[in-house]
């Protein structure tokens, strides 16, 4: 048994899916479409060359907006690695990020995490909105605090005025739609599930709490749209099986 378990882990690591998929989606109006890049669940552990390649792909898409929907890292002491990645995203005028559950679990300073983003021109949203004026269009973005470990709230926000909701756990999509049944035609972006991370030819062996009935891709509820990213990194164990990392390039 002592030999078999490490052998299985080694074989799974060799089979790990590491190629970054680019998911292209089109939710744009007929006039003044904008390019939005959505990434999630970095779980950054070091200056990994995969993140440099991701930054190259993001920059080459010439996005108007980049958003990150949480789980930036899994452990404390990774803020320098996070800054290293963010510094590679250049020439992007509008950028926003939110927290996931792992930032809370890591014990890392949330104040210092905010500073890493804001010192680089990012909006770091914790139950906050930001208004962006892009190519003649006004876009209001709401970033929720983490659903599982934070204190998410729309108390000071009129959701009808929000165009783009950034959430970490997809279950919050259900909660917001249930709480505001008249909400229509809004776009929600989430992560958290990793697409299952370890799957049997796409069938997840496990989905974390907060996933609700969502695994990956596009869903619709009450005329609102949710896109769930599989994320870019991995939580424990540190590999993927039949669930490649991804990023979304969205016409919005």
Query: In this structure, are residues 169 and 190 in contact, taking their beta carbons and an 8 Å threshold?
Result: yes
In angstroms, the CA 115 to CA 122 distance is 9
Q: Report how far residue 96's alpha carbon sits from residue 216's, in angstroms, rounded to the nearest whole number.
A: 21
- Give Cβ neighbours of residue 134 (< 8 Å, ≥ 6 apart): 34, 64, 65, 93, 94
Q: How confident is the model at residue 194 (pLDDT cuts 50, 70, 90)?
A: very high
Q: What percent of the chain has a predicted confidence (pLDDT) above 90? A: 81
How far apart, in whole angstroms, are the C-alpha atoms of residue 242 and residue 190? 20
For the chain, give the mean pLDDT: 92
Q: Residues 133-142: what's their mean pLDDT? A: 96
Task: Report percent pLDDT > 70 for the chain.
Answer: 93
Q: Where are the domains of the chain?
A: 4-251
Give the pLDDT confidence of 18-71 residue by residue, as tens digits.
789 999 999 988 888 999 999 999 999 999 999 999 999 999 999 999 999 999
Prediction pTM value: 0.92
Whether residue 16 has pLDDT greater than 80? no
* pLDDT score, position 97: 98
Q: Is residue 7 over pLDDT 60?
A: no
Write down the pLDDT at residue 12: 47
Q: How far apart are CA 243 and CA 126, in angstroms?
A: 29
DSSP state of 146: P
Using pLDDT thresholds of 50, 70 and 90, give the confidence band for residue 17. low
What's the whole-number mean pLDDT along residues 178-190? 97
218 three-state secondary structure? strand
| pLDDT at residue 13, rounded to an integer | 46
Q: What is the C-alpha to C-alpha distance for residues 38 and 84, in angstroms, rounded to an integer?
A: 19
| pLDDT for 250 beyond 80 | yes
- What one-character DSSP code corresponds to residue 197? S
Between CA 75 and CA 229 the distance in angstroms is: 21
Question: What is the fold, at CATH topology level, of the domain defined by 4-251?
Answer: Purple Acid Phosphatase; chain A, domain 2 (3.60.21)
pLDDT in the model for residue 31: 87
Pairing of strands 137-143, 128-134: antiparallel
Q: What's the per-residue H, E or C state across 23-70?
A: EEEECCCCCCCCEEEEECCCCCCCCCHHHHHHHHHHHHCCCCEEEEEC
**pLDDT digits 0-9 by tens, 143-179:** 999 999 999 999 989 999 999 999 999 999 999 999 9
Q: Check if the beta carbon of residue 210 is closer than 8 Å to that of residue 169.
A: yes
pLDDT on residue 109: 97
Give me the pLDDT at residue 3, please.
46
Q: Minimal CA–CA distance to 114: which of 101, 125, 105? A: 125
Closest CA relative to residue 72, chosen from 48, 98, 95, 41:
41
The whole-number pLDDT of residue 59 equals 98
């Amino acid at each position: 048994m002592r030999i078999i378990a490490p052998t299985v882990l080694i074989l799974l690591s060799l089979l790990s899916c590491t190629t970054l998929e680019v998911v292209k989606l089109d939710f744009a109006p007929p006039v003044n479409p904008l390019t939005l890049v959505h990434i999630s669940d970095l779980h950054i552990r070091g200056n990994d060359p995969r993140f440099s390649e991701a930054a190259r792909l993001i920059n080459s898409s010439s996005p108007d907006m980049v958003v990150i929907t949480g789980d930036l890292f899994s452990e404390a002491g990774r803020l320098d690695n996070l800054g290293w990645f963010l510094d590679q995203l250049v020439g992007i005028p509008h950028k926003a990020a939110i927290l996931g559950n792992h930032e809370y679990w890591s014990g890392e300073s949330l104040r210092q995490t905010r500073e890493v983003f804001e010192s680089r021109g990012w909006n770091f949203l914790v139950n906050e909105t930001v208004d962006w004026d892009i190519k003649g269009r006004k876009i209001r973005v709401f970033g929720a605090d983490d659903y599982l470990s934070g204190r998410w709230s729309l108390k000071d926000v009129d959701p009808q005025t929000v165009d783009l909701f950034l959430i970490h756990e997809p279950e919050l999509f259900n909660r917001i739609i249930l709480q505001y049944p008249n909400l229509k035609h809004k776009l929600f972006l989430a992560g958290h599930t990793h697409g299952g991370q370890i799957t049997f030819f796409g069938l997840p062996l496990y989905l974390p709490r907060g996933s609700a009935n969502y695994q990956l891709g596009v869903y619709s509820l009450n005329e609102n749209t949710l896109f769930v990213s599989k994320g870019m990194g991995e939580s424990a164990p540190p590999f993927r099986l039949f669930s490649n990392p991804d990023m979304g390039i969205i016409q919005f």
